[in-house]
């Protein structure tokens, strides 16, 4: 494919950016003690070296009242300048540009140190996600926050950053001032559309005065907040038309959604169920009223998609943030024509935004080096190649094979079935989860490039290992469905979740899913069966459906199940079944929960490790390692991480 637009330079206020790919501002949890770190600089340097045109750093807090957890950057003091300077130098030496991002959350606030913070907003209007009741900002305090934005921007400019982005996106403070629902003020900053817009005007004016005429200023906007009382598309277009009149403003960065509600917050990092490049038409509409540069983000995970957005004139630059987390070399590979070698992002959200919500540093389930650039770095080459045999062709085994071969070992991977992928092959069959299967394609490509020998339909046992005589065996034999101790009568129609996913069994009309895992299997099956016309009751052994999923994925799925009229039964531990009745214990009270008129009980009760090869090999004297579910059934992230780390040690 020819990329006529993606690798043409783009100029904003005289600054030439080498291509149209950018990484949008996203939290990494790589800051420490409220300051940018060497780890954060290395993370951004990896993407700059990989060929990205522009990097926008994560949201920094401009005012002391908004500073909470120490993994957020505090730009309200000069202490941030040395760290930002390291980032600027690291990015610039590879030819990329870097902007800083300033974000005030307003009523969207977090606590710190076990205490809830005091949030400030245009008016005392609560949000419906964090359940904060903010204080109304006094007029003097509004002016103080305006100056705080300017001071933070000046610090970033002093550190050598090329531009500053403010956030009127995702329901944050600038968007709150625009909103007639949140801004109910009667002073000069509220009461009419023009007055609600004044806060943005004053922020942009103050920032320009602070940073001078050459540094770039941009604003990130949500084209639609997608929540009942949020900013509508028309409101945002009207605001952007006003922004056209701000001569100091150089670009708009278009996204979607609001952090103020659970459903709309999924747009912040849209999971794979969202259409690719779904924000681009909204950006195109804004481009009609704002004639300077338009940037856009939102599920643009392949260079071909970005090229299409640019070709259609919907935007001037494309944010490919998670694509760059998954493969920092994506721009360079694209430019070289190595499209098949790109490790495509699958929109799983597990280790990028998922890690953020766990309070741990960013990474990627497909590339554990992402976010660990300083501690891991490139794979070390081996001095003495060894013969490595890998038993099991799931994600853990495949990653181990690829990395071991990349290091110089002679690697053979054996899979007992006729297809690589393990449980990923099941996950991709659920509604909206087909893209998960791309993970297998990516790993297969990594193995092929590394020179791994793959043998399908090959069952590894002790005799076979002795015949092959490898130096090292990596066991990655996975897991199978766990059989619970529940007392289930022979007159109950009971099937395993895997049987449905494999197309080996069909349920009746009335289905109860006993979901111990509280992850994608239970909610995915519930959606699948409800779409097929079944009456579905999802009984979860947890506080809510999808308890162990990344929250944007979970909340989006909760909305789908509600629309499909799936009945959710929380706190339900499977006890037994007879005939057409299924029995559960309430896990908090111990009281019985009875589901009657059940045609089929579907078990999603977790997995048990396949360890048949471990015992014989441990007694054989052959060096062995174990990765993934055969150690303990968990997720793809652990399997790939352990596969990579094991391959780096041998």
| Cα 305 from Cα 194, distance rounded (Å) | 37
Residue 601 pLDDT class (50, 70, 90 cuts): very high
- Three-state secondary structure along 586-597? ECCCCCEEEECC
Residue 383 pLDDT class (50, 70, 90 cuts): very high
Asked if residue 630 has pLDDT above 80, the reply is yes
Per-residue pLDDT tens over the stretch 316-366: 999 999 999 999 999 999 999 999 999 999 999 999 999 999 999 999 999
441-444: which pairs have CB atoms within 8 A and are 24 or more residues apart? 441/344, 442/343, 442/344, 442/366, 443/366, 443/395, 443/398, 443/399, 443/402, 444/398, 444/420
pLDDT recorded at residue 163: 98
When pLDDT is averaged across residues 617-632 and rounded to a whole number, the result is 94
The answer to whether 154 and 60 have CB atoms below 8 angstroms apart is: no
When pLDDT is averaged across residues 586-598 and rounded to a whole number, the result is 98
The answer to whether 648 and 379 have CB atoms below 8 angstroms apart is: yes
Strand partners, 209: none
Tell me the DSSP string of 408-460. Answer: T-EEEEE-SSSSS-TTHHHHTTSTT-GGGGHHHHHHHHHHHHHT-EEE-S---
- Helical residues (DSSP H) of 550-613, grouped into ranges: 551-563
Q: What is the token pair recorded at 214?
A: 């050459």
Tell me the DSSP string of 302-325. Answer: SHHHHHHHHHTTS-SEEE-HHHHH
> Average pLDDT of the chain?
97
Choice among 101-115, 176-190, 497-511, 529-543 with the minimum mean pLDDT: 101-115
Domains of the chain (ranges plus CATH)?
10-358 (3.20.20.70), 387-481+611-649 (3.40.50.720), 487-605 (3.50.50.60)
Residue 297 pLDDT class (50, 70, 90 cuts): very high
Q: What is the token pair recorded at 565?
A: 């009229």
Task: Give the range with max mean pLDDT: 67-76, 106-115, 280-289.
Answer: 280-289
Strand partners, 609: 479
Q: What are phi and psi of 563, to 5 degrees?
A: -65, -30
Q: Under the phi-then-psi rule, with left for phi > 0, alpha for psi from -120 to 50, and beta for the rest, what region is 367? A: beta
Asked if residue 401 has pLDDT above 90, the reply is yes
When pLDDT is averaged across residues 497-517 and rounded to a whole number, the result is 96
| Cα 291 from Cα 250, distance rounded (Å) | 10
Asked if residue 110 has pLDDT above 90, the reply is no
| Cα 613 from Cα 476, distance rounded (Å) | 10
Asked if residue 450 has pLDDT above 90, the reply is yes
Per-residue pLDDT tens over the stretch 150-183: 999 999 999 999 999 999 999 999 999 999 999 9
Strand partners, 165: 101, 218
Q: Under the phi-then-psi rule, with left for phi > 0, alpha for psi from -120 to 50, and beta for the rest, what region is 424? A: alpha
Per-residue pLDDT tens over the stretch 37-58: 999 999 999 999 999 999 999 9
Asked if residue 644 has pLDDT above 80, the reply is yes
Asked if residue 112 has pLDDT above 80, the reply is no
Q: What are phi and psi of 173, to 5 degrees?
A: -55, -45
pTM above 0.75, yes or no: yes
The answer to whether 402 and 443 have CB atoms below 8 angstroms apart is: yes
Asked if residue 300 has pLDDT above 90, the reply is yes
Residue 575 pLDDT class (50, 70, 90 cuts): very high
| Cα 549 from Cα 527, distance rounded (Å) | 15
Residue 382 pLDDT class (50, 70, 90 cuts): very high
pLDDT recorded at residue 66: 83
Q: Are strands 607-609 and 479-481 parallel, antiparallel or unpaired?
A: antiparallel
What letter would DSSP give residue 111?
-
Residue 621 pLDDT class (50, 70, 90 cuts): confident
Asked if residue 111 has pLDDT above 90, the reply is no
Per-residue pLDDT tens over the stretch 526-547: 999 999 999 999 999 999 999 9
User: Residues of the chain with pLDDT > 70: what percent?
Assistant: 100
Asked if residue 3 has pLDDT above 80, the reply is yes
pLDDT recorded at residue 535: 98
pLDDT recorded at residue 114: 84
Per-residue pLDDT tens over the stretch 255-282: 999 999 999 999 999 999 999 999 999 9
């Amino acid at each position: 494919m020819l990329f006529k637009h993606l690798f043409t330079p783009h100029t904003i206020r005289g600054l030439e950016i080498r291509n149209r790919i950018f990484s949008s501002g996203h939290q990494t949890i790589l800051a420490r003690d409220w300051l940018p770190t060497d780890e954060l600089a290395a993370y951004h340097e990896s993407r700059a070296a990989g060929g990205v045109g522009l990097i926008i750093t994560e949201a920094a807090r401009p005012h002391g009242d908004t500073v909470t957890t120490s993994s957020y950057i505090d730009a309200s003091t000069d202490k941030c300048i040395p760290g930002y300077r390291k980032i600027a130098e690291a990015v610039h030496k590879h030819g990329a540009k870097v902007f800083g991002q300033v974000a005030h959350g307003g009523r969207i606030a977090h606590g710190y140190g076990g205490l809830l913070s005091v949030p400030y907003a245009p008016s005392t209007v609560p949000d419906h996600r964090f359940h904060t009741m903010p204080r109304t900002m006094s007029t003097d305090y509004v002016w103080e926050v305006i100056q705080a934005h300017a001071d933070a921007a000046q610090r970033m400019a002093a550190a050598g950053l090329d531009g500053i982005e403010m956030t009127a996106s995702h329901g944050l403070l600038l968007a709150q001032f625009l909103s007639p629902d949140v801004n109910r003020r009667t002073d000069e900053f509220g009461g009419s559309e023009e007055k609600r817009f004044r806060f943005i005007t004053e922020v942009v004016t103050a920032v320009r005065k602070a940073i001078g005429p050459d540094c770039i200023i941009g604003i990130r906007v949500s084209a639609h907040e997608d929540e009942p009382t949020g900013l509508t598309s028309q409101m945002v277009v009207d605001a952007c038309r006003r922004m056209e009149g701000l001569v100091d403003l150089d670009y708009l960065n278009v996204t979607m959604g609001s952090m103020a509600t659970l459903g709309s917050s999924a747009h912040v990092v849209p999971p794979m169920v969202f259409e690719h490049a779904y924000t681009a038409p909204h950006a195109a509409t804004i481009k009609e009223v704002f004639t300077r540069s338009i940037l856009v983000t939102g599920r643009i995970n392949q260079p071909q998609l970005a090229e299409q957005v640019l070709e259609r004139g919907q935007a001037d630059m494309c944010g490919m943030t998670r694509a760059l987390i998954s493969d920092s070399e994506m721009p360079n590979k694209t430019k070289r024509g190595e499209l098949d070698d790109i490790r495509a992002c699958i929109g799983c959200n597990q280790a990028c935004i998922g890690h953020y919500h766990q309070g741990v540093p960013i990474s990627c389930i497909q590339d554990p080096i992402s976010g660990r650039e300083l501690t891991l770095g490139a794979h070390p080459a081996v001095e003495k190649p060894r013969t490595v045999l890998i038993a099991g062709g799931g994600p853990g085994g495949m990653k181990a094979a690829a990395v071991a071969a990349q290091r110089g070992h002679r690697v053979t991977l054996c899979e007992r079935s006729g297809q690589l992928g393990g449980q990923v092959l099941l996950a991709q069959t659920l509604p909206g989860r087909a893209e998960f299967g791309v993970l297998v394609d990516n790993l297969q490509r990594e193995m092929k490039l590394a020179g791994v020998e793959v043998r399908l339909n090959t069952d590894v046992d002790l005799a076979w290992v002795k015949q092959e005589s490898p130096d090292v065996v990596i066991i990655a034999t996975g897991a199978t469905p766990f059989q619970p101790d529940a007392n289930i009568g022979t007159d109950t129609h009971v099937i395993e979740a895997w049987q449905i996913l494999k197309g080996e069994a069909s349920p009746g009309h009335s289905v109860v899913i006993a979901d111990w895992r509280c992850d994608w299997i239970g909610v995915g099956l519930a959606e699948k069966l409800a779409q097929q016309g079944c009456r579905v009751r999802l009984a979860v052994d947890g506080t809510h459906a999808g308890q162990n999923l990344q929250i944007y994925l979970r909340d989006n799925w909760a909305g789908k199940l509600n629309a499909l009229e799936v009945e959710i039964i929380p706190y339900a531990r499977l006890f037994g079944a007879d005939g057409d009745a299924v029995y559960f214990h309430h896990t908090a009270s111990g009281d019985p929960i009875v589901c009657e008129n059940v045609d089929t009980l579907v078990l999603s009760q977790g997995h048990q490790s396949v360890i048949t090869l471990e015992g014989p090999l441990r007694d054989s004297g052959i060096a062995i390692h174990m990765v993934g579910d055969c150690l303990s059934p968990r997720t793809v992230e652990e399997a790939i991480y352990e596969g990579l780390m094991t391959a780096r040690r041998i």
